[in-house]
Amino acid sequence: MNAQQPSRFLVSAGEPVTDLSNLEQLEEDPICERVAQNLQRLRGKRHLSLDALARQCGVSRAMLAQIESGRSVPSIKVLCKIAKGLKVSVAAFLEHRAFEGVAVLSANQSKRLVSASGAFVSRALFPFDVARQSEFYELRLSPLGEDHSEGHGPGVQENLVVSQGVLEISVNDERYLLSTGDSILFYADQPHRYRNPADSEAVAYLVVTYPERLD
């Protein structure tokens, strides 16, 4: 995919990813404020006092108050206890926006990307407000249409399944013809192309996976 590539089309590839192993060391990082705000929001939504939440999660009232005021960054162990008490994912404390583990996106809210020719349409099937390690897209390619990519970042993989029609996938000029129900997995850090050789629309679903940060 070219400049209109669906992969991470709303997020900068250089956007930092939160390293949970260093969470305790980030007192001056905005993540401290984010955890505080999300804890306040989640506790308030459940109409729980600090004392009630302390009893529910086994973390002291004083510690909860320090976290909510942004004066203390909790350890992963403490954050897991609070998450269990509130019945949410630990990730709910790290999100830039309110997200408690379930998000429903109506069809008209999904972000769509259309190529310059109009032949290629990509629809994001995930909340696109923050960088993610994996992304899920619906792809539609018009009859005889095609879309090219010079390759993404090192280690990026694409896993695609054809749900309607046929698709020809070229990876470094080697061609693979996929019929309805066929799937393919390949490293997308090399040149690749999608082409619809048929006279009817092709529809496919694509998962893009980015390599884990090792630093």
Hey, what long-range contacts does 120-127 have (CB within 8 A, 24 or more apart)?
Answer: 120/4, 120/145, 120/146, 120/147, 120/194, 122/6, 122/9, 122/206, 124/6, 124/9, 124/10, 125/205, 127/97, 127/99, 127/103
The per-residue pLDDT for range 21-46, each reduced to its tens digit, is 444 443 445 778 888 988 998 899 89
Does the pTM of the predicted model rise above 0.85?
Answer: no
pLDDT level of residue 9 (50, 70, 90 thresholds): very low
174-211: pLDDT as tens digits: 999 999 999 999 999 999 999 999 999 999 999 999 88
Identify the pLDDT of residue 94.
75
